[in-house]
Amino acid sequence: MVSFCEKCGSLLIPKRHEDNSVTLVCRVCKIEAKNKFKDSSYSISSKIRHDEKDLVTIVEEDFDIRPITKINCPKCNNHEARYWEAENRRKTEEWETTMYFKCTKCRWVWSE
C-alpha cells in the first residue's frame, strides 16, 4: 500500500511510535496521517530501474594507461614518468610536437 500526502502529493513515509505503532508522515509538509497501523513491520519498498546512461564508474585510484619512461622529475627527482605527445600550432601556422611527462610519484606535469 503506497500513500501520498493529501496536501502536497508527496510520498508518505512510516514513522514508528513508542507503543510500536506506525503512522505515515509527509517528508515535505510534515503532516501525519490519522491512521495508525499496529503492524510493526510496515515498510515501503520499490524497484528502481536505471538506464545504462545513469550508471557511473567510480575509480578510487588514479588510473592512467599511458606508457612509462625513465626520466628524472624536476620536482621530486623520481626516475619514472608517464608520457604523451601533443601537436601545438605555432604563430607561423606551423605545427610542432611537444612531449609531456607526468611523474608517477608526485604527479607533477612538465613538457620538453
pLDDT tens for 19-64 read 877 788 888 888 887 666 665 555 556 677 777 777 777 766 667 7
pLDDT cut 90: percent of the chain above it? 29
Please give the domain boundaries of the chain with CATH numbers for all domains.
Answer: 1-42 (2.20.25), 68-111 (2.20.25.10)
Q: Whole-angstrom Cα distance, residue 105 to residue 62?
A: 11
Amino acid (one-letter) located at 88: N
3 state DSSP class of 81? strand
Strands 68-70 and 95-103, by their bridges, are unpaired
Residue 106 has pLDDT above 60, yes or no: yes
Task: Give the sign of the dihedral formed by CA 107, CA 108, CA 111, CA 112.
Answer: negative
Strand (E) or helix (H) holding 26: strand 22-26
Give the model's pLDDT for residue 36. 62
The rounded radius of gyration (Å) of the Cα atoms in the chain is 30
